[in-house]
């Protein structure tokens, strides 16, 4: 969990560099949001493996939950209807 927290912090820092108000310092190592997301996926995979959890099943279960519970939450709004 400590490693996952560390990686989440690194992702937050990268997002802040790209989209926030804190640009990178010239001497800071280049990383990308994609790299940090990959690191998080790796750590999550390690946790799932150690707990004998099938990530495909876990993901499918989560998607079913969101498709039913939040089915209208993620629908793109038609901007022409707002006028």
Report CA dihedral (44, 45, 47, 53) to the nearest 10 degrees.
Answer: 120
- The domain 1-57 having CATH identifier 1.10.287.1080: the answer here is yes
Sort residue 52 into left (φ over 0), alpha (ψ -120 to 50) or beta.
left
The pLDDT value given to residue 48: 96
pTM of the shown model: 0.71
Ordered by start, the domain boundaries in the chain are 1-57
Highest mean pLDDT among 13-17, 44-48, 69-73, 75-79: 44-48
Rounded to whole angstroms, what are the CA distances from 30 to 10, 12, 24?
Answer: 12, 14, 9
Per-residue pLDDT tens digits for 8-66: 999 998 998 888 887 777 777 777 899 999 999 999 999 999 999 999 999 999 988 88
Structural tokens at position 46:
């390690």
The pLDDT value given to residue 36: 94
């Amino acid at each position: 969990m400590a490693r996952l927290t560390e990686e989440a912090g690194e992702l937050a820092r990268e997002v802040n560099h790209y989209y926030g108000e804190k640009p990178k310092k010239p001497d800071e190592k280049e990383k990308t949001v994609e790299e940090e997301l990959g690191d998080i996926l790796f750590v999550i995979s390690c946790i799932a493996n150690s707990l004998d959890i099938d990530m495909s099943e876990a993901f499918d279960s989560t998607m079913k939950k969101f498709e039913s519970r939040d089915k209208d939450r993620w629908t793109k709004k038609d901007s022409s209807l707002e006028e």
